[in-house]
Structure 1
Amino acid sequence: MKRLSLICTLALAGCGDLSQVGRAPDFTPLEGSAQHYAMYSADLPEDVAAGTPSDDSSLWAAGTDSLFGDRRAARRGDILTVVIEIDDSASISNSTGRNRSGNVKSGLPDFFGIPQRLNESLPEGARMGDAVETRSSSTFKGSGNVSRTEQLTLRVAATVVEELPNGVLRIEGQQEVRVNFEMRELIVTGYVRPADISRQNEITYDKIAGARIAYGGRGQITDVQQPTYGQQAADIILPF
């Protein structure tokens, strides 16, 4: 009985999370994430932090809210747009060929009549004139071809979650879009320099150091495209 219950438990575990049957994928909560803490623990404005009153009557205020103020992300909790435009292609083709042949022939046809005497004692068909003859040949051919094409165009808002001592900003962005029963996810993390952020408060992915970009999904369509747990385990365990 215990063995039967164990088998049933393993079978149900291999079928996935049954609680999601007939339900759309849930959104990932932002509470508790690095973006959440960055938003709620941002520094106070410079004029308030310094204790100096702001000049609300001035037309040319120096703050970021002024007409000509710099609205680029520069502090923890600020938001900027990451532009991802990947259009890469690579083609590698290698071919190797090698051919080698050898022929060695040696004998002793005449040496003071000694070979003729030896021929009488050799087996039938053997002669000292053709004592040794070898032939060898080898051929090798190899070829390889790699072709890869990637194209991705996306835009996602990211949050500055940390200011490093050298002025570099660590950003983190996450976007989820649910269509029917399929969730599309986009995650971007990395390090950027404030000088690389454009006046439109945008930065391209090729200026992000240590960029980690993940684009995928979860839901009914993704589950169908993946092998079952049992098949994945069998592919790892079975040697054939």
Structure 2
Amino acid sequence: MKRMVSVVALACLLSGCGAVGRLQGVGKAPKMTAMDDPVAPEIEPSLGLQGAAHRNGATAAPAPSASLFRTGAGGFLRDQRASKVGDILTIRINIADKASVDNTTSRTRAGGETGGIAGLLGLETQLPKILPGKPDPSKLVDFNSNSTATGAGNTTRSEQINLTMAAIVTGVLPNGNLVIRGRQEVRVNFELRELIVTGIVRPEDIARDNTIAHSQIAEARISYGGRGQLTDAQQARWGQQIYDALFPF
């Protein structure tokens, strides 16, 4: 019975720390995320495809008109930059940030207090009977305090990311701004790198080659990370993380 309880407790401990999932992935490459359903408006079928379907014996819906230009289709003279839901936009991510912060604080404080009773209707003569030693009524209280505090802090940060990826327009706001979202995953051996970009862009900021810089994305959320054997090796063991979180000293 004790052995069974120990096994159950160990299983609960492992499951709570995520060790079961890691044990199941030993010797296996990390799984890639399934692709989401593409967001795009419906486009009228091509007249050429309708003719091919008719020749093959399939039943096709009648075309609403005989125009060569279909609703929602790209035109030769139309602006090819992203402007509606489902369009693809290229994002250029060039992050080269450096920051250095150095703070120094010093504080010194001193205080003193002296008090006494030279005479109090003759009652001061009774002090030697109450207080030990030979107290001087004129120097009953003598208090001094001195405090010194010094603090120093230094923070240095340097980041550099140079990437190019594609994003999809997932929504159009009432003022015409575009909501975009892009996701890119690259798996090399047993390490998976993931890049996610979301935000809001103005159609006017999109260049002629249908690209936009990351600095022109409002409410930008750029996540660049990964998972796999290298990421696990760079992380402290879960026991060490719990110890660091709970140990007060």
Q: Could you say which TM-score interval applies, normalised by the shorter chain?
A: 0.7 to 0.9
Q: Is 1:101 aligned to 2:106, yes or no?
A: no
User: Does the 8 Å contact 1:106/1:132 carry over to 2?
Assistant: yes
CA deviations over 1:86-113 (Å, ceiling 9, x no partner) = 122222222222223345567899x9xx
Specify the SS of the correspondent of 1:27: coil
Cα-Cα RMSD:
3.7
Q: Secondary structure at the match of 2:164?
A: strand
Q: How far, CA to CA, are the matches of 1:182 and 1:233 in structure 2?
A: 25
Distance 1:174 1:124, change over 3 A: closer
Rounded Cα–Cα distance in structure 2 between residues aligned with 1:195 and 1:127:
87
Q: Helix, strand or coil: the match of 2:9?
A: helix
1:37 and 2:46 matched:
no
- Displacement, 1:141? 2.2
Identical counterparts, % of pairs: 44
Deviations 1:20-77 (A, max 9, x none): 22222222111xx2xx331xx42437x999846137xxxxxxx8552x6421111111
AA at the equivalent of 1:21: V
Q: Which shifted more, 214-223 or 6-15?
A: 6-15
Which digits, 9 at most, give the CA deviation of each residue in 1:161-212, with x for residues without a partner? 2222332211111111111111111011111121111111111112212211
**Number of residue-to-residue matches in the alignment:** 221
2:219 to 210, 217, 223: 210
Question: Counterpart of 1:86 in 2: which secondary structure?
Answer: strand
Aligned to 1:165: 174
Assess if the C-alpha contact under 8 Å between 1:15 and 1:229 holds in 2: no
**Given the alignment of the two structures, is residue 5 of structure 1 paired with residue 7 of structure 2, yes or no?**
yes
Which residue of structure 2 lines up, in the alignment, with residue 74 of structure 1?
83
Structure 1 spans left out of the alignment, 5+ residues: 56-62
TM-score, length basis structure 2: 0.70
Measured in 2, the distance between the counterparts of 1:191 and 1:134 equals 64
Alignment counterpart, residue 97 of structure 2, candidates 88, 103, 108:
88
What TM-score results when the alignment is normalised by the length of structure 1? 0.73
- Give the match's secondary structure for 2:21: coil
State the distance in 1 between where 2:10 and 2:141 align: 74
Where structure 2 has 5 or more consecutive residues not aligned to the other structure, the ranges are 48-62
CA gap of 1:104–1:167, structure 2 versus 1, over 3 A, is: closer
SS in structure 2 at match of 1:6: helix
Q: State the Cα deviation string for residues 124-149 of structure 1 (Å, max 9, x = none).
A: 87666766654433323222222222
SS of match in other structure, 2:11? helix
Shift of residue 155, structure 1, vs aligned partner: 1.1
With over 3 angstroms needed to count, the CA separation of the structure-2 counterparts of 1:182 and 1:29, relative to structure 1, is same
My pick for the range that moved more, 78-87 or 88-97, is 88-97
